Amino acid sequence: MAQRFVVHYSEVALKGNNRPEFVRALRKNINRSLSGLGHTITYTEGRFVVDAEGTADDVSGRLSSVFGVSWFAPVSDVPQDYAKILEAALGSASGAKGSTFKIAPRRTDKSFPLSSQELASKLGAEVAKSTGLSVDLSEPDLTIHVDVVKGRALIYTDRSKGPGGLPLGTAGRTVHLFSGGIDSPVAAWLMMKRGTRPVYLHFYLAPTPRSAIESKITKLVKVLARYGGRSTLVLVPFAEYQLATAGVPPELEPSLFRRFMRMTAEALAPRFGASAISTGDSLSQAASQTLWNMASFDEGSSLPVLRPLLTYDKEEIVALARRIGTYDLSLEEYKDCCAIITRHPRTRLKGAVVSEYAGKFGFADLVWKSVDGATLVAYDPKGDALKAAPLSDSIPKAAATPPPSA
DSSP 197-223: EEEEEEEE-SSSTHHHHTSHHHHHHHH
Burial class of 191 by CB neighbour count within 10 A (0 to 12, 13 to 18, 19+): buried
- The helix (H) or strand (E) run that includes residue 392 is helix 391-394
Looking at the structure, tell me whether residues 271 and 244 fall in a common domain: yes
- Taking the C-alpha atoms of residue 309 and residue 346, their distance in angstroms, rounded to an integer, is 22
What is the structure's pLDDT at 406? 62
> Among 128, 161, 194, which residue terminates a domain?
161
For residue 406, being part of any structural domain is answered with no
Looking at the structure, tell me whether residues 286 and 370 fall in a common domain: yes
Looking at the structure, tell me whether residues 151 and 188 fall in a common domain: no
Looking at the structure, tell me whether residues 40 and 132 fall in a common domain: yes
Parent domain of 34:
2-161
Reported pTM: 0.91
> Among 161, 196, 223, which residue terminates a domain?
161
> Among 161, 185, 210, which residue terminates a domain?
161
For residue 405, being part of any structural domain is answered with no
- Taking the C-alpha atoms of residue 49 and residue 200, their distance in angstroms, rounded to an integer, is 34
For residue 168, being part of any structural domain is answered with no
For residue 136, being part of any structural domain is answered with yes
Total domains in the chain come to 2
For residue 44, being part of any structural domain is answered with yes
What is the DSSP code (8-state) at residue 290? S
Question: How far is residue 117 from each of residues 32, 127, 144, 277, measured CA to CA in Å?
Answer: 39, 15, 14, 51
Helix axis angle, 291-298 relative to 351-360, nearest 10°? 40
Long-range CB contacts for residues 111-120, cutoff 8 Å, separation at least 24:
112/80, 112/148, 114/82, 119/85, 119/146, 119/148
Find the CATH number of the domain harbouring 132: 3.30.2130.30
For residue 93, being part of any structural domain is answered with yes
Looking at the structure, tell me whether residues 122 and 34 fall in a common domain: yes
Looking at the structure, tell me whether residues 271 and 323 fall in a common domain: yes
- Taking the C-alpha atoms of residue 317 and residue 190, their distance in angstroms, rounded to an integer, is 11
Find the CATH number of the domain harbouring 293: 3.40.50.620
> Residue 90, SS3?
helix
Contact 33, 93 (CB under 8 A): no
Looking at the structure, tell me whether residues 238 and 328 fall in a common domain: yes
Looking at the structure, tell me whether residues 11 and 95 fall in a common domain: yes
Looking at the structure, tell me whether residues 360 and 333 fall in a common domain: yes
Looking at the structure, tell me whether residues 144 and 183 fall in a common domain: no
Looking at the structure, tell me whether residues 257 and 383 fall in a common domain: yes
What is the residue-level pLDDT of the chain in tens, covering all 406 positions? 688 999 999 888 777 888 899 999 999 999 999 988 999 999 988 899 999 998 999 999 999 999 999 999 999 999 999 999 999 999 999 878 889 999 999 999 999 999 999 999 999 999 999 999 999 999 999 999 999 999 999 999 989 999 999 999 999 999 999 998 999 999 999 999 999 999 999 999 888 999 999 999 999 999 999 999 999 999 999 988 888 888 888 888 888 999 999 999 999 999 999 999 999 999 888 878 889 888 888 898 999 999 999 999 999 999 999 999 999 999 998 877 766 665 677 788 788 888 988 889 999 999 999 999 999 999 999 888 899 999 988 765 544 555 555 6
For residue 297, being part of any structural domain is answered with yes
* β-strand partners of 6: 49, 73
Looking at the structure, tell me whether residues 127 and 189 fall in a common domain: no
Q: For 79, list phi and psi in degrees, rounded to 5.
A: -60, 160
For residue 66, being part of any structural domain is answered with yes
